[in-house]
Chains A and B, each alone.
Chain A
Amino acid sequence: MSDELDRIRREMHSVLQPEGVRPDDSLKITRRTFIHGSLVFGAATVGQAFAWWPLLNTLDIAHAAETPFKFAWISDTHLYPRSLNTRFVDKVVRAAQEVQAMDPPADFLIFGGDLAQLGKIEELELGVDLLKEIKIPKHYIPGEHDWYLDMGKKWGELFGQPNWTFDHKGVRFIGLDTVSRGPDYWTAKNMTPEERMGHMATLDGTVAGPWAGVGRDQLDWMEKTLADWDKQRPVVIFSHNPLYEYYPPWNFWVRDWREVHEVLKPYAKVTNIHGHVHQVLYNEIGTLRSIGMLATSWPWPYAPEGLPKLTKPMIRVDPGDPYDGVGWSKIDVAANDQLETEYIMWGRKEVFVQSPEDHDKHVSEVIRPRIADNMWPYR
């Protein structure tokens, strides 16, 4: 781990993880098979990753959700025009059919961003079209791939305000926009909208920089939005990026995570559900718990460093199978506020690693950032 990252990580822990502070235990992550006798492995690399995995149970709590309900999550569909890539289309069709077929039905769908691949009108409209299959209410937040061709113009026309809030059966839901406040890397270099989008659409690019953030204005909005909410009642926050620091070079973070946690600190039961990482991810920061969701398009590998210790990693996927390592999620909210997340990873009985050999970091590697996007004569 680099010294700088190590320093920040230690700071994050001392600021947000004072001794004895944990989120309440009302969360469960399953793929039916989750409670499995495989929590401990021999190899240190993988074994370490499980050392802190919380044993799950429920707590008595003062305010319960009024009635149990489910909702569904789809994100990171990364649609190209239909004529270019049909696999991505097929997978959205499948996810949409499965969400629509839920019985009992989900109360609503959250779409967690990166609907389009290059922010084109055609791609965004294709997404809207494919998701019409789902008849329950749908709520959208933007991803960076949706935004940086026209700076959110088309997205706004289709979906309205990128941040929002609503209450549902005793739970306050908040959708955040963590993508639109990137630093201006395009004006000084006279980039075309396509060039701007191209840099933003490259996860390991070095030009777009630390674009993920909530922003002071939106933090103030969130603080106001929560002001009248009982601090013991459940809050669920949706964001495209994780609300903590995992791996900044890929924007697996928001740069103002410290401020986010200042706002959320008083609330006892906050769950953040996020996209962007295209992988199974779990973390706890102070009283906030955080769950990363699968993409339908393709899985990202785990970052070279910073994978939260609490994450039980997902299984190493078969690159020859476009339906492996991807899917969507069901979230159950029980009457005792217990949240149960189920990853629907297509074609996999076991979502989580079953042995050290099944971890994608089983072959150890030391890698470094690319250079060609930041060097002459690159346009």
Chain B
Amino acid sequence: MTTHSKIRCSLRRFGLVGGIAIAAVFAGPTSAHKDPVKQEQLKLYQEVFMEEVRKGDLLFHGDQKMAEQLGVADDLSKTGMACAMCHPMASDTHPQSFPKFQAQIAKFATLRDMINWCIEKPNQGVKIDPESEAMKALEAYITWSNTGSVLQPGKF
């Protein structure tokens, strides 16, 4: 690694023994294979996340094309109701309060449970697979919208 070699070069001045010892601490054992995180990686991870936020945003606002793309067009709503009609800017979704006892479902519930409840009851649709991309995208959009909210787990 460029950084490592630079440090090693400058340390050489302090004598061979000390130089080797310090270099070992910085570089780790020869069998190690982990690299430090790179800016390009972080950018890529963020892009993956924001792409799911974008998809979730569209699903949340009733975008039919995105619902078709993710295979949930017949499920999310059968009344023309979209999530955003009761939750503009994802307000009152309270992802920061889950998991909690959810009175409407009468059980201890996760955000995904509540999303499915809203799909089934107000939207009169059909529950979607909790592991599906559509569900994860909705979760991504809702939590991203609440970026500034403080965790209040359990609060009803």
Contact = CB atoms under 8 A, between A and B. Distances in A.
Interface in B103-119: 104, 118
Interface in A79-118: 80, 84-85, 87, 117
A299 B81 CA distance: 13
B61 A372 contact: yes
- Chain B interface size band reads 35 or more
B53 A368 contact: no
Interface residues of A, number: 34
A166 to B, nearest CB: 34
Given A250-B88, A370-B57, 10 more contacts: A85-B79, A202-B84, A203-B84, A301-B91, A320-B121, A363-B156, A366-B147, A366-B150, A371-B53, A378-B58
A366 B146 contact: yes
Interface string B141-156: 0000111111010011
A204 interface: yes
B8 interface: no
A366 B149 contact: yes
A55 interface: no
B12 interface: no
Given A204-B84, A366-B147, A366-B148, A371 B122 contact: no
B96 A84 contact: no
Interface string A354-379: 00000010011111111111010010
Contact of A298 (B86, B97, B104, B118): B86
Given A320-B104, A364-B149, A368-B148, A373 B61 contact: yes
Interface string B44-81: 00000000011101101101000000000000000111
Given A204-B89, A365-B146, A367-B89, A319 B84 contact: no
A34 B147 CA distance: 37
B145 to A, nearest CB: 5
A19 interface: no
Interface of B: 53-55, 57-58, 60-61, 63, 79-81, 84-92, 94, 96-97, 104, 118, 121-122, 145-150, 152, 155-156
Contact of B104 (A80, A300, A319): A319
Nearest to B60: A370
B148 A319 contact: no
B86 A370 contact: no
Given A320-B122, A364-B149, A365-B96, A371 B54 contact: yes
Contact of B57 (A117, A364, A367, A371): A371
A266 interface: no
B146 A370 contact: no
